[in-house]
Amino acid sequence: MSKGDGTKVVGAGRRAEWTQGIVSPPVWRASTILYDTVDELRAAAGKDTHHRLFYGRRGTPTQWSLAEALTELEPGAEATFLYPSGVAAISAALLSVLSPGDELLLPDSVYDPTRSFATGFLARLGITTRFYDPLIGGGIADLIGEQTRAIFMESPGSLTFEVQDVPAIVAAAKARGVTTMIDNTWATPLLFPVIELGVDLSILACTKYVVGHSDVMLGSVTAAPSHWAKLRDTSFALGQTASPDDAWLGSRGLRTMAVRLKHHGAAALEIARWLETRPEVARVLHPALPACPGHDLFLRDFNGAAGLFSFVLNGGNDAARAALIDGLDLFGIGYSWGGFESLALPVDPGRIRSVTRWDAEGPVVRLQIGLEDPADLIADLAAGLDRFRAAS
Ligand SMILES: *Cc1c(COP(=O)(O)O)cnc(C)c1O
């Protein structure tokens, strides 16, 4: 029988040789690793440095432990590389497969910095990007051309939460030998293990749910066996390394990720359902609610929902939305998410689309639901909706 999520995250990556019997793997900081002789130094350089002390950039047991823990959460995966941020993980994953002349397919609902990396940096290398409707499903086959080398997915999409048909896209990609990768930050492997679905590279902004406390930047890419060597070599070439202190905080966060996600998910769904009953709200964009595009795919493929969603206001303008958000007591106003505290963010998806239209009844607010009591958050939002109505 496969273990439950709580059991998995508590035990993952805690090899005895790395923990030395200490419950949390200690912080091993290093740049120089000393050798006894010139012969030993030379011999070390020629060997595979995976899980062997060689030089600080290649990591210590602190980073290996977190990387191995994330690999264990993705059945079928070969290994994981850690990065100093989620964006660093995304760029390394893309650079590990793309070369000048290649084409990348990117969903129109993708995280904005991913879009910018493709249209800016990748374009400068002569790599072209074609955007696609996140709801395209198996229809992606029609977009795959001679130059198409990679299909990037993000499900649900940033800001607007469209759920993608990952198995259908993977099947179309495999038929043409195209690499697939997904930004799996929202679901994490606990709610959506993707390597066993055939995805080649699974990317996390660990900054969000893995760290869980809004105090560390960290990213990861977990690779299927066919894609590990390229990912590792590209990441080595780029000099990518995550600090042991940050990896340690990532490991500490991971131990409670299953219970945190359960709370985030249940509280967010309760609040989303309450928002649906409010006349000031036109639509709630939450994958577990039927109004969300791709809801049927969410029910088919995901083990549960996370704590981040958006809602569309019924009319009103930017100032009325600001009146709602500015007066909130328990929600902070700021970027990122996945921490213990709730956040509210004004978002404007229409401004960053290229192949799909964004038609909405009013401005959009994105909520990160933290670990506060949902009844208190609902009371705070109710007062906010009153302010919105008064200002509209
Ligand atoms: C925040 C985020 C990232 C980037 O992670 P950083 O650690 O902030 O660089 C990538 N993808 C998604 C979906 C995110 O929300």
Banded model confidence at residue 167, pLDDT cuts 50, 70, 90: very high
Residues 6+ apart with CB under 8 A from 56: 29, 30, 31, 32, 33, 241
Residues with CB under 6 A from ligand 1: 85-87, 111, 158, 183, 185, 205, 207-208, 217, 219, 336
Question: How far is Cα 192 from Cα 187, in angstroms, rounded to an integer?
Answer: 6
Question: Can you give the residue ranges of every domain in the chain?
Answer: 5-254, 257-391
Segment 127-143 mean pLDDT: 98
Count helices and strands in the chain by DSSP H and E runs? 15, 12
Of all protein residues, the one whose alpha carbon is nearest to atom 7 of ligand 1 is 86
Question: How far is Cα 134 from Cα 108, in angstroms, rounded to an integer?
Answer: 6
Sign of the C-alpha dihedral computed for residues 225, 299, 295 and 278 taken in this order: negative
pLDDT reported for residue 2: 78
Q: For residue range 328-380, what is the model confidence (pLDDT) as tens digits?
A: 999 999 999 999 999 999 999 988 899 999 999 999 999 999 999 999 999 99
Question: How far is Cα 263 from Cα 305, in angstroms, rounded to an integer?
Answer: 10
- The 8-class DSSP code of residue 195 comes to G
335 is catalytic: no
pLDDT reported for residue 89: 98
Cα(220) to centroid(ligand 1), Å: 11
Percent of the chain predicted with pLDDT > 70 = 99
**DSSP string for 97-143:** T--TT-EEEEETTS-HHHHHIIIIIIHHTT-EEEEE-TT-GGGGGGG
Segment 11-32 mean pLDDT: 94
Q: For residue 62, how many other CB atoms are within 10 A of its CB? A: 25
Structure tokens at 242: 């995550």
Question: How far is Cα 89 from Cα 13, in angstroms, rounded to an integer?
Answer: 20
Segment 69-86 mean pLDDT: 98
Contact by Cβ (8 Å): 279, 334: no
Q: Provide φ and ψ at 378, rounded to 5°.
A: -65, -45
Cα(217) to centroid(ligand 1), Å: 9
* Residue type (1 letter), 59: G
pLDDT reported for residue 49: 79
Q: For residue range 186-223, what is the model confidence (pLDDT) as tens digits?
A: 999 999 999 999 999 999 999 999 999 999 999 999 99
pLDDT tops 70 at residue 1: no
Q: What is the mean pLDDT of the chain?
A: 97
Cα(86) to centroid(ligand 1), Å: 5
Banded model confidence at residue 48, pLDDT cuts 50, 70, 90: confident
Q: What's the CATH number for 257-391?
A: 3.90.1150.10
pLDDT reported for residue 45: 83
pLDDT tops 90 at residue 299: yes
Q: For residue 45, how many other CB atoms are within 10 A of its CB? A: 11
pLDDT reported for residue 351: 85
* 29, 42, 52, 57: the active-site residue: 57
Percent of the chain predicted with pLDDT > 90 = 95
Cα(372) to centroid(ligand 1), Å: 23
pLDDT tops 70 at residue 55: yes
- The 8-class DSSP code of residue 350 comes to G
111 is catalytic: yes
Q: Burial level of 109, CB count in 10 A (0-12/13-18/19+)?
A: buried
Q: Which CATH number fits domain 5-254: 3.40.50.1580, 3.40.50.2000, 3.30.43.10, 3.40.640.10?
A: 3.40.640.10
| DSSP E strand boundaries for 193-238 | 201-205, 219-223
pLDDT reported for residue 388: 98
Side-by-side strand order, sheet with 343-347: 281-285, 308-313, 364-368, 343-347, 332-333
pLDDT reported for residue 179: 98
Lowest mean pLDDT segment, chosen from 39-53, 145-159, 219-233 = 39-53
Of all protein residues, the one whose alpha carbon is nearest to atom 8 of ligand 1 is 86
* Equal fold, 5-254 vs 257-391: no
* 8, 115, 208, 283: the active-site residue: 208
Q: For residue range 109-133, what is the model confidence (pLDDT) as tens digits?
A: 999 999 999 999 999 999 999 999 9
Closest atom of ligand 1 to CA, residue 158: 13
